[in-house]
Amino acid sequence: MPTSPRSTSTDRVVLSLGTAVSARGLAAVHGMTMGMTSYQKLAVSLPSRVAERARRAVREGRAPSLSAYVAEALDEKSTVDELASLLDAMLAETGGPLTAAEQRAADRALGVTPKPRRRSPRRAR
């Protein structure tokens, strides 16, 4: 009996054995490419509070799936890391990090209000 899939719509695939799976699910199993993006199935461990916040985002409609939420978070983190590396390289070429006075001048010029510094708790004597 053949087991090759036959398409029934753009988002569903029915195996000849009668098991219906999503096209994306089939792609993940077989390492196929969906559109221009390829997917890899990974197993990760997350702190409970992080996992629950991600699930809440999906329930509230802020993400289509847990996988999509995690993928977007990882993409944003890698972008921030790349920008930080670029900034480090630029600072190295221009004499290093800004002094406190230069940072204040830049904040004023850009209209940025610096975040107040957190005070460390006073120790009981």
Residue 114: half-sphere exposure toward Cβ, Cα within 13 Å: 13
Measure the CA–CA gap between 39 and 67, rounded to whole angstroms. 11
* Continuous segment of H or E residues that includes residue 20: strand 20-22
Look at residue 65 in the predicted model and tell me its pLDDT: 95
Look at residue 103 in the predicted model and tell me its pLDDT: 87
Q: Is the pLDDT of residue 100 over 70?
A: yes
In our burial notation (b when 16+ CB lie closer than 10 A, e otherwise), range 65-76 reads eebebbeeeeee
Tokens, residue 79: 């972008």
What's the predicted TM-score (pTM) here? 0.51
Look at residue 18 in the predicted model and tell me its pLDDT: 40
Question: Above pLDDT 70, what percent of the chain?
Answer: 67
SS3 assignment, position 73: helix
Which span out of 13-22, 36-45, 116-125 was modeled with the highest average pLDDT? Answer: 36-45
Q: Determine contact, residues 34/23, Cβ cutoff 8 Å.
A: yes
Measure the CA–CA gap between 50 and 26, rounded to whole angstroms. 28
25 vs 90, which has greater pLDDT?
Answer: 90
Question: Above pLDDT 90, what percent of the chain?
Answer: 41
Mean pLDDT of the chain: 77
